A and B are shown apart, each in its own frame.
Chain A
Amino acid sequence: MLPSPWDAVSAFVDDFSILMKHTLTTVAEALIGLAVGIVVGFAMAIIMDRFNLFYFGFRPLLIVTQTVPTIAIAPLFALWLGYGIAPKILLVSLTTFFPIAVGLVDGYRSVDSDMVDLMRSMGANEWKLFRFVKFPSALPNFFSALKISVTYSVVGAVISEWVGGVNGLGVYMIRVKNSYSYDKMFAAIILVVAVSLIFMAVVNILRRYIVFWKAEIK
């Protein structure tokens, strides 16, 4: 018994203010989690770049941890941290930091070793090498990673809300599902998709300005 698109639209209009409130919560969780993920990702990438031991030790470990499905750990976080915003942020940061860390470190490490030699021969120290060569060189990788991470962030927040919460699109979805209001369910799904698309569009716009020297690779 699928609702017609018209049903979904009218549900959207009817529930507009409630939907917006929930969307705001989900967006906030996604953005805060993403911000934490980016900061942690940056730190991890620098450590992995600096120390081979961490690169060869952490990178495979990170890839293994990524195969653990989000839906499996979300209930654990709810158990430990309750129904507030904290378990959502933790889950989102955990899923988003990984592409960022790996993208950045691979970017740093892809810098031509002759370029590194040349910079050193001109007296560059580690910081200047990072600032003038490694960091800008890794920006295209960073944005490719960020594109993945922003979609993870929305999905992560919603899944986290499914397993327990008071606010957010995930919570709303569970409620309307329990009352068999599939039209509202569809309205919520459309909103989740819209939020993801807006996040991706923002990343694309930022990328175009910041990574101006590289044409977009489709």
Chain B
Amino acid sequence: MAIFEARNITQSYEGVPIIEDICLALNHGEVVCLIGASGVGKSTLFQVLSGMKKPDSGGVFLNGEDITGKTGMVSYMLQKDMLLPFMNVIDNVALPYRLKGFKKKEAREKVRSYFGQFGLEGAQDKLPDQLSGGMRQRAAFMRTYFFGREVVLLDEPFSALDELTKADLYEWYLNIGGELGLATLFISHSLEEAVSLSNRVYVMSGVPGRIEAEVAIKRRGSLREFCSTSEFSEYKNRLRDLL
């Protein structure tokens, strides 16, 4: 059974329908991509899924429970890393614990041992501005992780990064997502990214935006190998045709 589900979500802004009748599901341990042209309503859908906005109609369900319009039930991360410039990395990352009421010291102790795993060893006491783009995004992801929700929504998490950093982070994310047992739904407008990372891809298009197709991706071997196979290009072509 799906752990996270959206049923028939419709949302409009000032009477203009933006997304219509969106249904999607996320299973335990899956990485699923939502792909679509810019402006089609992907971020709007995420605001509904994260509880920031109440949809005009439809519902959001977590383990079968109705969580429509409730924030704090799933982790949510944006394209911009949103690290606070006045806090060092460890305090940024420990912010979810601070929000839960832990003291600064306790919150730090809770996150300290994870820095190696997130590839941020030695960055604890730096300010976000002293990190590279890839490290900042990893720190933002680490903060998202400590929010402690199994379902993770990532809105264009890799879009602001350069090609080489992206390639590294894809592999890193697949590993760590697996280790931590997360179910990820992420937004992308890159076919390459969608095929590289996902078990399934939802294709969104039209005005108002609807989910017009769903493609399952079977990845064989390592990510690096997979990227150079003909299957990889076939998946990409198929998605391109659907968009």
Query: Which residue numbers of A lie inside 8 Å of B, CB to CB?
Result: 112, 114-115, 117-124, 128, 132-133, 136-137, 139, 211-214
In the complex the two chains form, is A132's CB within 8 Å of B71's CB?
A: no
In the complex the two chains form, is B82's CB within 8 Å of A118's CB?
A: yes
Q: How many interface contacts (CB-CB < 8 Å) are there between A and B?
A: 51
**Chain B residue contacts of A117, Cβ below 8 A:** 47, 52
- The 8 nearest A-B residue pairs measured at CB: A123-B72, A121-B76, A213-B86, A136-B86, A121-B71, A213-B85, A121-B50, A124-B99
**Chain B residue contacts of A133, Cβ below 8 A:** 84
In the complex the two chains form, is B80's CB within 8 Å of A114's CB?
A: yes
In the complex the two chains form, is A120's CB within 8 Å of B52's CB?
A: yes
In the complex the two chains form, is B86's CB within 8 Å of A139's CB?
A: yes
Having A118-B76, A121-B72, A133-B84, one finds 9 other A-B pairs with CB under 8 Å, namely: A112-B82, A114-B78, A117-B52, A118-B78, A121-B71, A132-B84, A136-B86, A213-B86, A213-B129
**Chain A residue contacts of B166, Cβ below 8 A:** none
Give chain A's interface secondary structure class: helix
Which of A112, A123, A137, A211 is B71 in contact with, Cβ under 8 Å?
A123
Name the distance in Å between A73's Cβ and chain B's nearest Cβ.
38
**Complex: A124 Cα to B52 Cα, angstroms:** 12
CB of B227 within 8 Å of the partner chain: no
* A117-B52, A120-B52, A122-B147 known; A132-B99 Cβ under 8 A: yes
Name the distance in Å between A137's Cβ and chain B's nearest Cβ.
8
**Chain A residue contacts of B76, Cβ below 8 A:** 118, 121
**Complex: A159 Cα to B20 Cα, angstroms:** 66
**Complex: A194 Cα to B96 Cα, angstroms:** 47
Give chain B interface residues in 42-82, CB to chain A under 8 Å: 47, 50-52, 71-72, 76-78, 80, 82
